[in-house]
Amino acid sequence: MNFLAHLLLSNNDDDIMVGNFIADSVRSAEYGQFKPEVVEGIKLHHKIDFFTDNHSIVEESKERLRPTQSKYSPVVVDILYDHFLAKNFDQYSDVPLEEFAANAYDLFNRRWDELPKGVQRILPYMENGNWLVNYGNRYGLERVFMGMSKRASFQNDMKAAVAQMFDDYDLFADEFARFFPELKNYVDGEIARIPWGIGR
């Protein structure tokens, strides 16, 4: 899953949200630099990724994209699923998407010093482009994939991913709708195991 899903699945907890947001930029050897609760958010991020990457429903989506997206199909699916989450956000959150996004940007700016340098470089672009909200529209998706295509290490066709998604829109939408409740149930169980107050 991509940014929006990771943040929504953070149990409305600031520390977990920060950890979930920075996880891909933090090595395990660096965990000692962060509050224990933030580390739990980092670990939760990786559990979400593992559950997603190994789920049979997600595999259906990846398989449909492999002829054009090849090794990048998992990355593309993560972002496409954030699109469906943004489009249907009121089904999964009592807070409107625009308010949720604004609160997230505010949190990360308030805790700027805790963000790794790479995340600090990304955040202004993310906020100015309002990625969390604009995942929900075609233009926003096209901008995200265009940027990713330029930064990717290998030749890719990510710029065509949005058109492919809209060609099979109902199939991807159905797969997301079947998968996300299972992911949420899994994450709820993992969050229940966190020893709350560990850093206090």
Which structural domain range is residue 117 located in?
57-192
In a domain, 157, yes or no: yes
Q: Which tens digit of pLDDT belongs to each residue from 69-107?
A: 888 899 899 999 999 999 999 999 999 999 999 999 999
Taking the CA of residue 180 as centre, how many other CA atoms within 13 Å lie in the half-sphere pointing to its CB?
27
SS3 at position 190: helix
Rounded mean pLDDT of 25-49? Answer: 95
In a domain, 184, yes or no: yes
Torsion sign over Cα 129, 135, 140, 141: positive
Distance between CA 197 and CA 136 in Å, rounded?
35
In a domain, 51, yes or no: no
- Report pTM: 0.92
In a domain, 121, yes or no: yes
Tokens matching residue 74: 């998992």
The answer to whether the CB of 156 falls within 8 A of the CB of 149 is yes
In a domain, 153, yes or no: yes
What integer pLDDT is reported at residue 162 of this predicted model?
84
As for how many domains the chain has, the answer is 1
In a domain, 3, yes or no: no
Distance between CA 141 and CA 96 in Å, rounded?
20
Residue 175, CA distances (Å) to 60, 84, 107 in order: 8, 10, 31
The answer to whether the CB of 135 falls within 8 A of the CB of 83 is yes
The answer to whether the CB of 183 falls within 8 A of the CB of 1 is yes
- What is the percent of the chain where pLDDT is above 90? 76
Rounded mean pLDDT of 47-71? Answer: 94
What integer pLDDT is reported at residue 198 of this predicted model?
63
What integer pLDDT is reported at residue 80 of this predicted model?
94
Distance between CA 42 and CA 102 in Å, rounded?
22
Tell me the pLDDT of the chain averaged across its residues: 92
Q: What is the CA radius of gyration of the chain?
A: 16
What integer pLDDT is reported at residue 18 of this predicted model?
98
23, pLDDT greater than 70: yes
Considering only residues 140 and 171, tell me which one the structure prediction assigns the higher pLDDT: 171
In a domain, 156, yes or no: yes
What integer pLDDT is reported at residue 154 of this predicted model?
67
Distance between CA 87 and CA 69 in Å, rounded?
23
In a domain, 1, yes or no: no
Q: Which tens digit of pLDDT belongs to each residue from 144-197?
A: 887 776 676 666 677 788 888 899 999 999 999 999 999 999 999 999 998 876
Torsion sign over Cα 140, 141, 144, 146: negative
SS3 at position 34: coil
What integer pLDDT is reported at residue 199 of this predicted model?
54
